[in-house]
Amino acid sequence: MNKPLGVTVIRHIVDSQRLHPEATGDLSGLLNELIVAGKTISAEVNMAGLADILGMSGKTNIQGEKVQKLDEFANNTIKKRMARCGYLCVMTSEEEDDAIPVEDGYEGKYTLAFDPLDGSTNIDVNVNIGTIFSVHRRRTKWGQGSREDMLQKGRDQVAAGYILYGSSTMLVFTTGEGVQGFTLDPSVGEFYLSHPDIRTPVRSKYLSVNEGNRNYWPENIRRYIDALKEKDKEKGRPCSCRYIGSLVADFHRNLIAGGIFIYPRDNKNPDKPYGKLRLLYEAAPLAMLIEQAGGRAITDDGINILDIEPNSLHQRVPLIIGSKLDVDEAQGYLG
């Protein structure tokens, strides 16, 4: 018997677009361009460990090209490709202080916020990292976009997702109609639908938190995390602890298996009073994904991440994200 043909991500995007006769195809085009950037980064990530062996760890590689650090490479790849894709009016990257303009003459109707390689401390040690992205419709009417276009609530995202460079490369994204997961077949360079309509379990199997910060957490967070570690058969507790230190990888595991990721505010670093994670290109896109998959995302004072009106491009936000019933329970501790 013939095996059914796999659904490629492009096929999926085109089929989804058909359900919206009013669609212009711009969002599909934008996603396609991002996917190409993701595949380019994936190929480079896979070669990273060979850099020394192939004599590419110095300043130049065997082609005589300057070797970039992986995070720099990822940032440049997305920036350059997306600046002239024709669908964007402005971008923001974790790697750049200011908003990034698109090329003159290529202005489009969307904005893009991205973390080119999330999990930066894991880059050099062969542990999972990923690219996170968030797309909004522009607010201004034409021309180059501005900060006003970038500073929009997570609730108004039109698409969000990530590409995870792990044992396989996976693309997980939503356009507000559920969450779909695709796995890259490197032999043909194509993403195939491998995880249709992802729903996250309502209870957490895993707890992901940096316990090293415990002494610096507020008391209510300590009590809540202790509760997650207490025996409770009905709630499937104690949760097992799993913490990679790459938000995107911790999130992905929890999305599939059921889990709760917590990065609360702490008093360790006075210059980071709201924890470490950024709203526009870390918390908000993952919050859209988790809601679409049946979970929840809130701050450590109980505000829905998607309802926060951003006031700066690199704003940080305390994050509690994951299985619905456990996030509901957190709310009780937060008052």
Name the residues that contact ligand AHM, by CB under 6 A: 94, 115, 118-121, 210, 245-247, 276
CB 253 to Mg ion: min, Å: 16
Q: Hey, what are 70's tokens?
A: 């992986």
Tell me the DSSP string of 263-275: E---SS-TT-TT-
Q: Both ends of the chain: CA-CA distance in Å? A: 59
Residue 318 touches which of ligand AHM, Mg ion, none (CB < 5 to 8 A by kind)?
Answer: none
Residue 245 touches which of ligand AHM, Mg ion, none (CB < 5 to 8 A by kind)?
Answer: ligand AHM
**What is the footprint of Mg ion within residues 8-67 (CB under 5 A)?**
none
Note whether 156 and 136 are within 8 A (CB): yes
CB 246 to ligand AHM: min, Å: 5
Q: Give the C-alpha separation, 34 to 87, whole Å.
A: 11
Give the C-alpha distances (Å, rounded to integers) separating 61 from 49, 67, 70, 75, 291: 14, 6, 14, 19, 44
CB 330 to ligand AHM: min, Å: 18
CB 122 to ligand AHM: min, Å: 8
Residue 246 touches which of Mg ion, ligand AHM, none (CB < 5 to 8 A by kind)?
Answer: ligand AHM
Specify the residue, 9 or 171, whose C-beta has the smaller distance to ligand AHM.
171
- Should residue 118 be labelled a site residue for Mg ion when binding is judged by CB under 5 A? yes
Q: What is the CA radius of gyration of the chain?
A: 20
Specify the residue, 237 or 252, whose C-beta has the smaller distance to ligand AHM.
252
Query: Ramachandran region of residue 330, left (φ > 0), alpha (ψ -120 to 50) or beta?
Result: alpha
Specify the residue, 33 or 115, whose C-beta has the smaller distance to ligand AHM.
115
Which one among 71, 107, 115, 326 touches Mg ion, defined by CB under 5 A?
Answer: 115
Helices (H), ranges, the chain: 9-18, 26-47, 70-83, 147-150, 219-228, 247-257, 284-292, 324-334
Specify the residue, 298 or 319, whose C-beta has the smaller distance to Mg ion.
319
Residue 276 touches which of Mg ion, ligand AHM, none (CB < 5 to 8 A by kind)?
Answer: ligand AHM
Secondary-structure breakdown of the chain: helix, strand, coil percentages, each rounded to the nearest 5? 35, 25, 40
Residue 71 touches which of ligand AHM, Mg ion, none (CB < 5 to 8 A by kind)?
Answer: none
- Partners of 94 in beta bridges: none
φ and ψ of 115, to 5 deg: -105, 105
Half-sphere exposure of 313 (CA within 13 A, CB side): 21
CB 120 to ligand AHM: min, Å: 4
Cβ-based burial of 131 (10 A; exposed 0-12, middle 13-18, buried ≥19): buried
CB 86 to ligand AHM: min, Å: 28
Specify the residue, 115 or 250, whose C-beta has the smaller distance to Mg ion.
115
- Should residue 149 be labelled a site residue for Mg ion when binding is judged by CB under 5 A? no
Residue 210 touches which of Mg ion, ligand AHM, none (CB < 5 to 8 A by kind)?
Answer: ligand AHM
CB 218 to Mg ion: min, Å: 23
Note whether 120 and 237 are within 8 A (CB): no
Specify the residue, 192 or 243, whose C-beta has the smaller distance to ligand AHM.
243
CB 204 to ligand AHM: min, Å: 17
Specify the residue, 87 or 251, whose C-beta has the smaller distance to ligand AHM.
251
Tell me the DSSP string of 200-248: --SS-SEEEE-GGGGGGS-HHHHHHHHHHTS-BTTTTBSPEE---S-HH
The binding site for Mg ion (CB under 5 A) comprises 115, 118
